Amino acid sequence: MRDFKLKNITLAFVFSLLVIMPLLIGPTVKAEPDPIRIGHLGEWTGPAGRTCGPPGDALIAYFHEYVNKEKGGIEYCDPKTGKVLGKVKVEVLYADCRYELPLFKSAFRNFVDKGVIACHSTSSPALEGLKKDFKRDKVPCFQTSSNTVAHWPPEWIYGHRPSFADDMGLYVDWILENWKEERPPRIALMYYDGPLGKSMLWGGPQYAKSKGCEIVADEPIPGMPVSTTSQLLRVKQAKADYIAATLLGSQMALVLKDMKRMGLHIPILEATGTDATELRKLAGEAAEGAYFTFPSYDLGDESRPAIKWVNEHYRKYMKGRAGYDVINEPIPDGVWYVGWLIANIMEETIRLALEKVPPEKLTGKKLRDFGINRMKDYTCNGLQKGVTYLPGVDHRGSDYNIIHQVKNLKDSQVTDWRKAPRLLPPWMTKK
Amino acid sequence: MPLPSGIYNVTYKKDMAIFRTWDHWVWLTAFAMFLAILPAFASRSTLSIFTTIACTIIAVHGLNLLTGFCGQISMGHSAFVAVGAFTSAALCNELDFSFWVALPLSGFAAGLIGLLFGAPSLRVKGFYLAITTIGAQFIIIYVIMHLPSITGGVRSIDVPPPNLFGYLIETDHSYYYLALFMAAIITYFVKNITRTGVGRAFVAIRDNDLAAEGMGIGLFYYKMMAFFFGCFLAGISGSLYAHYLQTINVEYFTLMDSIWYLGMLIVGGMGHMLGAIFGTIFIVVLRELILKVAPLVSKALPGLGVEFGAAMGLFILGLVIMLFLVYEPRGLAHRWEIIKTKLRLYPFPY
């Protein structure tokens, strides 16, 4: 009987302890939330691997090294009080889709199955081919390219710079500002005979004509040209004052070399996001004097804190990586830079969304509603003039760009940030 | 087809049956049931792979008829797929045709264009015909790019999803069934072509065209027929795939795709019905596996960068085709026949 009592008392004591202990310990430390997942529809091999690989490297380095390791993650808040509760890490899922739509589609499906809240791509097949998928699955996709078809009508694709057609408009405004002669300026068009090159034509020449410029030559360049002499001869015969070009790097190099060989000194205005490093690497001395638009200050000007910030991280994270020689080439290529830039914009949209939504409840739609749609005049640590998304109206992110020139085979900034005209493609203006 | 011991063809009907034994029917039913219930437990990415396989099998069946059975090499098959895709898009967008009408018309359009590029096959063969069909690849894509009023030019154009009595077939689940159904119908169609006099004429031309002509087979007629059927199926595949993607662009139909179609046929086995199926499944699944494994390789070896994993993928794909050419030139279909015969005779050696 006594044993029975003792047993009961012991059991009651243990039971009471079990009930009271959690109350005595106080609130438990909340485990770190699961990482937020984003997807990179990448290309390291395939025809666009050289251009599309570095942005992917930059994006992965930005989130895995800079955000997760250096910063410890992105802060998230209590939506009601705004009090910071902790940090959440970001995992980048990626795939090498080799410019093949079936692989992009499959990779995107896989990302969605794994719960990504946003995607990124530099590739036209991904951006154009998956446009409806982004919309259907409510996953915003950021682009480092400036694909006009992807941008208009504005749905679930977001950019960071004006389109190639807008860039032509920007050049036209700049030409007219500096034009001294009585006659109108004569502009020749040279573009890659493919989607990327022709995107300049969706609004660019029309804008030039509306401003009084003459379009005196229209010269498509095939994908893999052997020579561009015949096209350049026609440009010369047309007495063009400027050549507006949207060419791939290899095509641009050939045009520049042919121009040098022919002794043709017409200013060439490139608008496909190339930069001085790429032009110098591809065309050598022939690159001298070429103009290009690039959404950044001179990447070699480390007196600017923002540029220094990018370059230091480039050297830190890319050191020893295959394909990167940061000792001899301490300044990143333009394509790597834009990957870092878009990653910074993506981080900011996630941070904004986490002010309103807890990380475990963050979805693509909520990222759009509480992050992307709230982004206004974001300067990317001083890298940009200001990124703003106008929901359903304009998802390019920025109207501003900078005109640069290759001088002494180095980047030389010709203008400061200039506002490009917003040129809508024909399918947006047709009733 | 070799039959199990004790099974004989005692009637013409039995002789002509595709599935001869109960075992065949049991396996077929089990396989069909597996495919039917797959969407219940498979992820969307898995269904997307199956849909891609089904659409691709149709195009590779076409190439198999043309190259595998009739011996007329084609290096421009992707362009004929493009003809089907853009015809279907134009018919649905510009003329408001239903998908069900546009689908066969796309096949016919591709078939007719195929006749045009097949005409030189009477005069040229082998490498020379390969060059001619490479020409088709470039000419067709050039024409598509420069007919913006019909094809959209270089711009991507939207393609509406198929509509079945008011129900839109636009999800991965619903399109999976449509693509699978079409692949099954086309496989049956191709199987029957190969068993008819036409199929035998194709094989005769492939094996020795002079002997075939001597036997009274009209070379031009049958070669043209092979081009028509081959390109017709490419067109059907293009239309089906375009409506699945709901967006098309000339950049989706490249020379590399044409080479991949040939690669699938080499791996699967040319001139064998199962070759097109095995080859397509093998290459598509391998590509998907590489897509998923390459990032893991890069993670395991971070110093080598992402490019290493990506390049490894291409290396493996190339190596597989080389190994097949060296060690199993008759493809997976032949290997499958050997395995089946071995199992049939087990435990006796084959």
- State the pLDDT at residue A13: 65
Question: CA of A192: which chain B residue's CA is closest?
Answer: B154
Which pLDDT belongs to residue B298? 77
A128 touches chain B (CB under 8 A): yes
Where does residue A183 rank: exposed (0-12), middle (13-18), buried (19+ CB within 10 A)?
Answer: exposed
Q: What is the pLDDT of residue A8?
A: 67
Distance from CA of B11 to the nearest CA of A (A): 46
Amino acid B69: pLDDT: 95
What CA–CA distance (Å, rounded) separates A333 from A411? 11
pLDDT band at B210 (very low <50, low <70, confident <90, very high): very high
Residue B251 confidence class, pLDDT cut points 50, 70, 90: confident
B245 touches chain A (CB under 8 A): yes
Task: Write out pLDDT tens, residues B294-303.
Answer: 888 877 777 7
CA dist., res. A178 & res. A291, Å (int)? 15
- Amino acid at site B1: M
Query: Among all chains, which residue has been given the structure tokens 């001294």?
Result: A180
- Using 50, 70 and 90 to split pLDDT, how confident is the model at B17? confident
Residue B155 in contact with partner chain A when CB distance is under 8 A: yes
Q: Single out the residue of B63, B62, B73 nearest to residue B205, CA to CA.
A: B73
Chain B residues in contact with A194 by the CB 8 A cut-off are 145, 154, 250-251
Q: How far is CA B14 from CA B4, B132, B190, in A?
A: 14, 43, 20
Cα–Cα distance, B127 to B15 (Å, whole number): 39
How much of chain A exceeds pLDDT 70, in percent?
92
Residue B128: how many CB atoms within 10 A of its CB? 13
Query: Out of A106, A124, A321, whose CB is closest to B305?
Result: A321
CA atoms of B321 and B316, how far apart (whole Å): 9
User: Least CA distance to B172: which residue of chain A?
Assistant: A109
B334-348 pLDDT, tens digit per residue, is 999 888 888 877 777
SS3 A413: strand
Tens digit of pLDDT for each residue in B101-151? 999 999 999 999 999 998 888 788 888 888 889 999 999 999 998 888 888
- A49/chain B closest Cα distance in angstroms: 9
ipTM reported for the complex, 2 dp: 0.83
| 8 Å CB contact of B245 and A112 | no
DSSP labels, A260-314: HHHT----EEE-SS--HHHHHHHHGGGGTT-EEEESSS-TT-TTSHHHHHHHHHH
Instruction: With beta carbons under 8 A apart, name residues in chain A contacting B308.
Output: 322
CA A211: distance to chain centroid?
30
Q: Are A270 and A293 in contact (CB under 8 A)?
A: yes
- Interface A:B, Cβ pairs < 8 A: 116
Residue A124 forms contact with B (CB below 8 Å) = yes
Nearest CA distance, A288 vs chain B (angstrom): 31
pLDDT recorded at residue B350: 62
Interface check for A165 against chain B (CB to CB < 8 A): the answer is: no
A97: nearest CA partner in chain B: B291
Convert the pLDDT of each residue in A383-413 to its tens digit: 999 999 999 889 999 999 999 999 998 889 9
- Report whether A364 contacts A118 (CB < 8 A): yes
A193/B145 touch (CB, cutoff 8 Å), yes or no: yes
Residue A232 pLDDT: 95
- State chain A's mean pLDDT as an integer: 89
Phi, psi torsion values for A377, nearest 5 degrees: 50, 45
The pLDDT of A55-82, averaged and rounded, is 92
| Residues B313, A323: C-beta atoms closer than 8 Å | no
> pLDDT band at residue B322, thresholds of 50, 70 and 90?
confident
Peptide bond into A153 cis (omega under 30): yes
What pLDDT does A7 receive? Answer: 65
* Average pLDDT value for residue range B209-237: 94
pLDDT in tens, A232-266: 999 999 999 999 999 888 888 899 999 999 999 99
**pLDDT (mean) for A63-79:** 93
pLDDT greater than 60 at residue A29: no
3-state class (DSSP) for residue A157: strand
Answer whether B299 touches A (CB < 8 Å): no
The proportion of chain A whose per-residue pLDDT surpasses 90, expressed as a percent, equals: 62
